[in-house]
């Protein structure tokens, strides 16, 4: 077992009439299987499987679209769209066990930076 410390910070002085300042930190206990950081070219046809439905545990996933122009769509293994990652955008979230996760580029191949850690 290992500890993965996450931090989320959202700050803005002009998003609303009041300043926004959210800062949350959480220590997560994780185990194998895991992928610390990897990069994968994602095509516009087919999909890149980040997690398969065979993964029965909750898994924390980090994703970043390293492309400067194009969008990557993230779906579950059933093909349901979960999110679009625009150029340079990132996400960190837990994925329910047995669901699976895949990525497809929308209009041109993109590089996806990713990592995942299994909840202990």
Structure token pair of residue 39: 């990069």
For residue 43, the 8-state DSSP code is -
- How sure is the predictor about 18, in pLDDT bands with cuts at 50, 70 and 90? very high
| DSSP-derived pairing of the beta strands 81-85 and 90-95 | unpaired
Q: How far is 81 from 103, CA to CA, in rounded Å?
A: 10
pLDDT of residue 3 exceeding 90, the answer is yes
Dump pLDDT digits (tens) for 56-74: 999 999 999 999 999 999 9
- How sure is the predictor about 90, in pLDDT bands with cuts at 50, 70 and 90? very high
CB atoms closer than 10 angstroms to residue 34:
14
pLDDT of residue 55 exceeding 90, the answer is no
pTM: 0.93
Domains of the chain are 30-119 (2.60.120.10)
Structure token pair of residue 22: 């959210």
């Amino acid at each position: 077992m290992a500890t993965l410390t996450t931090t989320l910070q959202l700050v803005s002085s002009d998003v609303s009439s009041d300043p926004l300042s959210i800062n949350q930190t959480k220590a997560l206990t994780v185990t194998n299987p895991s992928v610390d950081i990897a990069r994968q070219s994602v095509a516009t046809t087919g999909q890149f499987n980040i997690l398969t439905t065979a993964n029965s545990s909750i898994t924390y996933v980090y994703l970043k679209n390293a492309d400067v122009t194009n969008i990557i769509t993230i779906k579950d293994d059933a093909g349901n769209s979960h999110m679009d990652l625009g150029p340079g955008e990132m996400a960190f979230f837990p994925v329910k066990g047995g669901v699976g996760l895949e990525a497809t580029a929308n209009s041109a191949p993109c590089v996806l930076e990713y990592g995942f850690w299994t909840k202990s």
